[in-house]
Amino acid sequence: MKLNSFRKKSPWILHYNAGSCNGCDIEILACLAPKYDIERFGIINTGNPKQSDVLLVTGPVTKRSRERLVEIYAQMPEPKVVVSCGACACTGGVFRGMYNCEGGIDQYIPVDVYVCGCGSRPEQIIDGVIEALAILEKKTKDLEQSIRLKKEPVKEDTQLNRRDIAAEIKEIA
């Protein structure tokens, strides 16, 4: 495990429940608890999108949650990663195709890590977050590089990202 190399980062998580059954949410809570204690990795559950790096989403995104999810995602500063927790957040799980939900959060925001399981064990969530940390680091580097090389990076992170990177490029030029 090369975990030590990730330790120089401090991912702060934001948890949003987009209509899940609470199953995965309580497992996220369990991750914070002494037995799993994800603060070992410097993780804090901030509850504040503006200071978070990792968005942990559960639930299949109901129609009413959709706008809130996107809003919260937009308020998080890059670099950020999204971890979808549990089958229903990944793909809709058992709720696929129900009339009021959308079948997976990646229909609305780009997801980096999918944590499987229904409900996912805390171990799985930790694995997912650690996976996310690597991506976070890579994204940070990409962002730096893109500023240095004055070129557009990370394709997948949509318009939002591109706009501010363009601004930074202008600044350097």
Partner 1 sequence: MNRIETSIDKVKDDIRNFYKPDLYHFVVINAVDLGEKIEVQWFFCEYANPSNIIAFCVQINPDEEIPSIRDIVESSWVAEAELVDLMNIKIQNTAKGFVLEPDFESGPLRKKK
Partner 2 sequence: MYALIISLFILPVAVSVLVLILPKNLSRILVIASAAILSVISFYLLVSIEEPFHFGVSHYMNEVVSVADILLLLYFGSVAIRKKSWLVGLLTVLQFGALLYLLKIIPEEYQAQFTVDKLSVFMFLLINVISGIISIFSLQYIDGEDCSAFRKKYFLSILFWFIAVMNIIVSSDNMECFFLFFELTTLASFLFIGFRKDEISGKNALTALWMNQIGGLAILGAIFFIIHNGYGTATFSNLLAHSSVPGILLPLALLCVAALVKGAQMPFSKWLLGAMVAPTPVSALLHSSTMVKIAPFIILRLSPALKGTPVASVVIAMTGFVFVAAAIGALSQDNFKRILAHSTIALLALMIMMAAVGTPVTIIAALTLVFFHGLSKCMLFLNAGILERIFHFKQTSDMDKLAETGPFTSLVISIGFMSLLLPPFGAFMGKWFGIESLGVLAINQKMLGAFVIVAIACGGAILSLLYFKVLGLLIARTGDHDGVKFEKTKPLYSATISILLGLIILSVLSYPFLMSHYFVPVASQTLSLPIEVTIYGWKLHVGAMALPVVPLLIAFLLLPITIITATFIRFKNVDRVKEYACGEKTNYSFSSFYFATDRATPYFSVIGILFFITLIVVSIL
Partner 3 sequence: MIKYFTMKTFFKAILNLFKKPVTIKYPFEQTFIPDDYRGMIGFNENLCIWCRRCEMACPPGAIVFSQAMDGKQTYHFNRAVCIYCSECVRACPKEGAIFQTNVPAKCALKEENINNGWNILYGEALMSRAAYAAEKKRLAAEKAAAIKTEMEKKEAKS
Determine which residue in the list 57, 88, 105, 111 makes contact with ligand SF4, applying CB under 6 A. 88
| Residue among 12 and 36 whose Cβ is closer to partner 3 | 36
Cα separation, 11 vs 136, in Å, equals 8
Cα separation, 76 vs 82, in Å, equals 11
Print burial letters for 95-104: b (CB count within 10 Å at least 16), e (below 16). beeeeebbbb
158 near partner 2, judged by CB under 8 A = no
CA-closest candidate to residue 41, choices 13, 62, 77: 13
Choose one: 9-17, 64-72, 125-133, 164-172; the region binding partner 3 (CB under 8 A).
Answer: 125-133
Cα separation, 121 vs 147, in Å, equals 39
Determine which residue in the list 7, 64, 141, 151 makes contact with partner 1, applying CB under 8 A. 64
Counting other chains too, the contacts that 93-97 makes at CB distance below 8 Å and 24 or more residues apart are 93/60, 93/118, 94/118, 95/60, 96/60
| Residue among 120 and 139 whose Cβ is closer to partner 2 | 139
Q: Which of residues 114-133 bind ligand SF4 (CB under 6 A)?
A: 118-119
172 near partner 1, judged by CB under 8 A = no
Asked if residues 20 and 89 have their Cβ atoms less than 8 Å apart, the reply is: yes
**Residue 79 binding target from partner 2, ligand SF4, partner 3, none, CB below 5 to 8 Å by type:** none
Which tokens hold the place of 23?
Answer: 């199953």
Minimal distance, residue 66 CB to ligand SF4, in Å:
16
**Residue 57 binding target from partner 3, ligand SF4, partner 1, none, CB below 5 to 8 Å by type:** none
Determine which residue in the list 101, 115, 143, 165 makes contact with partner 3, applying CB under 8 A. 115
Q: Which of residues 12-31 bind partner 2 (CB under 8 A)?
A: 16
84 phi/psi in degrees, rounded to 5: -100, 130
100 near partner 1, judged by CB under 8 A = yes
Question: For binding to partner 1 (CB under 8 A), which residues are involved?
Answer: 63-64, 99-100
